Amino acid sequence: MSGPLDGIKVIDISAVISGPMACQVLGDQGADVIKVEPPILGDITRIGGFRVGDISAMFASANRGKRSIALDLSKKEGVEVLKKMVETADVLVQNFRPGAVERMGIGPETLLAINPDLIYVSISGFGPDGPYRDWRVYDPIVQSVSGVVSIQQSPDIPIPDLVRTIICDKTTALTASNAITAALFARASGKASGQHIEIPMLDAAIYWMWPDVFMGHTLWGDSVEPGPLIYQIYRLQQTSDGHLVYFVASDKEFNGLSKALDHPEWIADPRFETMKQRMVPEHFEALGALLHNAFLEFPTDVIMGRLREEEVPAAQVNSIDEVFTDPQVVNNELIVEWEHPDAGLMKMARPPVRWGETEPEVQWSTDHLGQSTTAILEEHGYSADDIVVLRDKEIIVSE
């Protein structure tokens, strides 16, 4: 099978992660994704660390399987080439700052006039209007405004911190890919033709966080009974020789935790008998101290075994290196090794969806900048002479 999106053509003129990762998801589902990059440097992630030539780890991990065309969209001739490509495209994704694509002559109104069936996707930091519209935005900026940073506090060291992964970019990417497939379904079922979809990173981040982070701000009124907030009870637990994570969400699990730690007397302690009692501030503090001291009596592997016997949710804290040898990761065949003809051995995570009937053929490849320029132009009706002219005018770069 070639995937549920076989036959769909995606033009990716976005950069960094939010747009490129969204388009890679579509490629993993069978779409043909054309990566449009500026000549000379290409996508900015090509020049990051951990790279061989113009193939960096981050670029390869968000642009795998795409075909690269190096096209100068700052010039009229480059814009005309893009417009020609748009005539037969299904999706276009961009994440320029608001107003930029209109100034370049490739805004949604212009391209939808050329191809009314186009799904045109605009990703931005804060949206097309408002006081933050023109801010330069990267992931940590959205983390800060959305509240993500404020809740990254250990009870032991109550200082806010960043989530040390580009979580808002990747959340936006998955939101975008979901919206695109929904728009393609609407088009296929006759509910709409093409349309312009706008996805602010801020909106995606807050929507994604809401179920747990905003528990205390969802129901309002005097009759609302308060309770623990998830981010207040998440905790990294120290053992005698390392760390683990556990999470107790029911009385049964608390009873199992007490037994595993050799303190069954906690089960009958009136301060800890129910979840509600355990969350009374002074009870919560007292229990936290007891748990901390009890865990310090056990090596990680010993207490992990005891917790599993009592069916208490818990896990060892894997280092990044240990992820590769974790038995469940190995069992799931999650890490794929493949050989790039120039960059050499690569390791990447396999796409996570397991399809029943429409299993896509994953493309383990990464183009150099402009590697597919000639082939893409030929597909869109450009002759050899046309391509030479574009190359001589430095509108394109090709290998």
Q: Kindly report the CATH number assigned to the domain that includes residue 359.
A: 3.40.50.10540
Which of 37-50 are b and which e, b meaning 16 or more Cβ less than 10 Å from the residue's Cβ? Answer: bbbeebbebbeeee
In 90-232, the DSSP E strands lie at 91-94, 119-124, 195-200
The domain boundary residue, chosen from 283, 316, 349 = 316
In a domain, 169, yes or no: yes
Asked whether residue 354 falls in the same domain as residue 280, the answer is no
Contacts of 83 (CB under 8 A, 6+ apart): 106, 110, 111, 114
Give the CA distances from residue 302 to residues 28, 258, 260, 289, 340, in Å, rounded to whole numbers and listed in that order. Answer: 41, 15, 10, 20, 42
In a domain, 321, yes or no: no
Asked whether residue 291 falls in the same domain as residue 354, the answer is no
The number of distinct structural domains making up the chain is: 2
Number of neighbours of residue 306 by Cβ within 10 angstroms: 18
Asked whether residue 357 falls in the same domain as residue 260, the answer is no
C-beta of residue 15 within 8 angstroms of C-beta of residue 173: no
Question: CA angle 197-114-382, nearest 5°?
Answer: 120
pLDDT at 233: 82
In a domain, 222, yes or no: no
In a domain, 221, yes or no: no
Asked whether residue 199 falls in the same domain as residue 94, the answer is yes
Three-state secondary-structure class, residue 248: coil
The one-digit pLDDT tens for each residue of the chain (399 residues) are 589 999 999 999 999 999 999 999 999 999 999 999 999 999 999 998 999 999 999 999 999 999 999 999 999 999 999 999 999 999 999 999 999 999 999 999 999 999 999 999 999 999 999 999 999 999 999 999 999 999 998 776 788 999 999 999 999 999 999 999 999 999 999 999 999 999 999 999 999 999 999 999 999 999 998 878 888 888 889 999 999 999 998 999 999 999 999 999 999 999 999 988 998 889 988 999 999 999 999 999 999 999 999 999 999 999 999 999 999 999 999 999 999 999 999 999 999 999 999 999 999 999 999 999 999 999 999 999 999 999 999 999 987
Asked whether residue 106 falls in the same domain as residue 28, the answer is yes
The domain boundary residue, chosen from 316, 347, 368 = 316
* Cα–Cα distance for residue pair 31/29, rounded to 1 Å: 6
pLDDT at 100: 97
In a domain, 79, yes or no: yes
Contacts of 274 (CB under 8 A, 6+ apart): 251
- Read off φ and ψ for residue 3, nearest 5 degrees: 105, 160
Q: What is the DSSP letter of 245?
A: E
Asked whether residue 293 falls in the same domain as residue 342, the answer is no
In a domain, 269, yes or no: yes
* Boundaries of domain holding 298: 243-316
Asked whether residue 175 falls in the same domain as residue 273, the answer is no
pLDDT at 332: 97
The DSSP bridge partners found for residue 124 are: 200
pLDDT at 159: 85
In a domain, 95, yes or no: yes
pLDDT at 279: 84
Catalytic: 203?
no
Asked whether residue 21 falls in the same domain as residue 126, the answer is yes
Of these residues, 28, 43, 90, 169, which one is catalytic?
169
Three-state secondary-structure class, residue 383: coil
Which of 157-177 are b and which e, b meaning 16 or more Cβ less than 10 Å from the residue's Cβ? Answer: eeeeeeeeebbbbbbbbebbb
Asked whether residue 260 falls in the same domain as residue 177, the answer is no
Contacts of 4 (CB under 8 A, 6+ apart): 29, 30, 355, 358, 360
* Cα–Cα distance for residue pair 118/195, rounded to 1 Å: 7
What is the DSSP track for 269-289? -TTTSSHHHHTSHHHHHHHHH
Asked whether residue 311 falls in the same domain as residue 391, the answer is no
pLDDT at 77: 97
Asked whether residue 196 falls in the same domain as residue 286, the answer is no
Number of neighbours of residue 178 by Cβ within 10 angstroms: 13
C-beta of residue 122 within 8 angstroms of C-beta of residue 112: no
* Cα–Cα distance for residue pair 179/103, rounded to 1 Å: 26
- pTM: predicted TM-score of the whole model, two decimal places: 0.94
Asked whether residue 176 falls in the same domain as residue 279, the answer is no
pLDDT at 1: 53
Domain CATH for 260: 3.30.1540.10
In a domain, 224, yes or no: no
